[in-house]
Structure 1
């Protein structure tokens, strides 16, 4: 692959790109994209692309074959995103000023997306949803209702925000690290679910619209397994949820497995999405580094975990939600997700006859890969696992219409297993 042959077209496309212009910040930076012995450089002045760089602060390097896959029209995971390649593809690296790279990762990401369109052609139009939008989607006021509740967390009262929609079986929805319950808004307006389930979602302490414990200073938040379980169970009790099925994603998927182990007789089952018994390598110091803008870096760190096929409007919603996280909240959650959480010695004790377990993982998730989830499910007697094609790490938010079908199937399986046990 000779990137230099397309450099002029690439620079021209960058100069014309409105998304790249919107991401620009004051200052000057130059970087290179290196494939073997050649590199294409990009310069920015006061946030605007100016063609080739006069100097380079850092380079992003990978083997030519890795870039060939990245710049293909439909790249395979983990070649679909730079951060996926940095984590999973040998030979991919950032050289030079790594802090400068973290400060400008948003520009690198967009430049690479533009390069893919230049080299492989514009991306295809996203496929039509697997089901028509909910009838209420165009309504001026949707069906979600939100309120606050007081729950005892760590022997302290905490004011938590929750939302609910629909009627029927209680289903509790758990958001991902550094995010909040808005991730489930599209699902909570999907007729297929709300006609069957009473969907409940809440913001963890220090997330979204929830406060924190009175004795805890902002920035001191650090999630661990015991605190997480206690918070969820406090919400279940405060809302008097009846044998709820708990659906969680990422760190929410991990804690689903812990809930199934600790409280099998209080739950109706769990759907653990993007989860494994141990997920190493996801802590990142730049999420709290004073030299790096958290509201730009954190959404970039997670953006590549989504599938490239997911609708752009939903991908942007996920990015924007992560840009609004409170100081240290994402980093405090990752202390649990890729640190405190290690259940390799205990997931095998989960009794799926008492608490059915379904595990679902997106094909494009390079943080918790489908194989990691599959191995975990294999250690849980009676657990069900499936890979979700064309989805990534945030299925309920990045492609809610597609994920709803997977969730409905999981709910059917849990209800069927519950009936078998009762019979």
Structure 2
């Protein structure tokens, strides 16, 4: 554990475990470096696993200026961690906000990314819901800033795509909500306003994503409604993309379904390591139903 310095001069806290090929885990808005404990326990048997607290999340620096937060900056922070720890290339695994950051890191810094797992990446991407997402994001930011994380955390943690986690694992969900309540209120508000509200829709990145060469796995829960269509879009757009849909699952996938998440990602990484996760065979034409000649 320790700190790395980003290219714009902030300190980011990280922890690591294991040895071997490198995986960097990138947390969601509601999580932190601790969100990936079930994955570090599992993958550190065969990989060097690194997780870090994003800017705005203690014990990393928490800038008070919202302009120090952005989608591009979040992507660059991943690569700053990779380079600061002496790693040439890494697998990157992100959930939600972290999934978006991983996709952008692969677009901005392809030479440092070996593969991408983007789980639960979709909020705000749907063009029909852009205005609603921005409005509700501003309200969430205001609630964190004015009510404070401790008071607002139980509300945020019981959203429509979080109750699946609460129902399956009340103890795990309660710990998630408790830790969310310990977040920096200003860090949460600035992250919501600077990163979440301002990030471009995935649909506006179709040209860039269609040229993405990194092997990619997209994971969504079938009850995480606003991630399903973006997941299908990513599957159709990124050449080497696979899509896994978890049944009866919500947004907090790696904690809600840790065994399924770990086995799915493990199989993906094994195929990538062997060079077997390839672009879609051109014969698998989506316009064809049955071959007639």
Mapped pair 1:364 → 2:227: no
Counterpart mapping for 1:68-217 below 5 A: 147-154=1-8, 156=9, 158-190=10-42, 193-212=43-62, 216-217=63-64
Counterpart mapping for 1:50-69 below 5 A: none
Following superposition, the deviation at residue 323 of structure 1 comes to 0.9
Counterpart mapping for 1:10-409 below 5 A: 147-154=1-8, 156=9, 158-190=10-42, 193-212=43-62, 216-217=63-64, 220=66, 223-276=69-122, 278=125, 280=130, 281=133, 282-289=136-143, 292-304=147-159, 305-306=161-162, 307-308=164-165, 309-335=167-193, 336-350=195-209, 354-366=213-225, 368-409=226-267
Partner of residue 414 from structure 1, selected from 259, 269, 272? 272
Alpha carbons of 1:162 and 1:225: their partners in 2 closer, same or farther (altered >3 Å)? same
Alpha carbons of 1:328 and 1:293: their partners in 2 closer, same or farther (altered >3 Å)? closer
Alpha carbons of 1:346 and 1:378: their partners in 2 closer, same or farther (altered >3 Å)? same
SS of the residue corresponding to residue 201 of structure 2 reads: coil
Alignment check: 8 A CA contact 2:75 2:102 kept: no
SS of the residue corresponding to residue 258 of structure 1 reads: helix
Alpha carbons of 1:257 and 1:396: their partners in 2 closer, same or farther (altered >3 Å)? same
Deviations 1:172-217 (A, max 9, x none): 0001115310001122112xx22221110001122031124xxx43
Q: Distance in 2 between matches of 1:179 and 1:208?
A: 11
Following superposition, the deviation at residue 236 of structure 1 comes to 0.8
Q: Distance in 2 between matches of 1:203 and 1:293?
A: 19
Alignment check: 8 A CA contact 1:170 1:245 kept: yes
Deviations 1:203-244 (A, max 9, x none): 1122031124xxx43x74762122112211111110012320
Following superposition, the deviation at residue 419 of structure 1 comes to 7.7
Alpha carbons of 1:295 and 1:341: their partners in 2 closer, same or farther (altered >3 Å)? farther
Following superposition, the deviation at residue 330 of structure 1 comes to 2.3
SS of the residue corresponding to residue 219 of structure 2 reads: strand
Q: Distance in 1 between matches of 2:67 and 2:255?
A: 25
Q: If you compute each CA radius of gyration, which structure gives the higher value, 1 or 2?
A: 1
Alignment check: 8 A CA contact 1:352 1:381 kept: yes
TM-score relative to the length of structure 2: 0.80
Out of 164-173 and 255-264, give the one that drifted further: 255-264
Alignment check: 8 A CA contact 1:303 1:315 kept: no
Deviations 1:379-423 (A, max 9, x none): 2223111211233211122332332122212223333446869xx
Q: Distance in 2 between matches of 1:350 and 1:334?
A: 24
SS of the residue corresponding to residue 16 of structure 2 reads: strand
TM-score relative to the length of structure 1: 0.57
Going by fraction, where is helix more abundant, 1 or 2? Answer: 2
SS of the residue corresponding to residue 179 of structure 1 reads: coil
Following superposition, the deviation at residue 293 of structure 1 comes to 4.3
Following superposition, the deviation at residue 301 of structure 1 comes to 1.8
Gap runs ≥5 in structure 2: 280-293
Alpha carbons of 1:286 and 1:224: their partners in 2 closer, same or farther (altered >3 Å)? closer
Hey, what does 1:71 align to over in structure 2?
A: none
Q: Distance in 2 between matches of 1:236 and 1:317?
A: 29
More relative contact order, 1 or 2 (CA 8 Å, 6+ apart): 2
Alignment check: 8 A CA contact 1:261 1:351 kept: no
User: 4+ residue stretches of structure 1 with deviation over 3 A?
Assistant: 219-222, 289-294, 350-354, 416-421
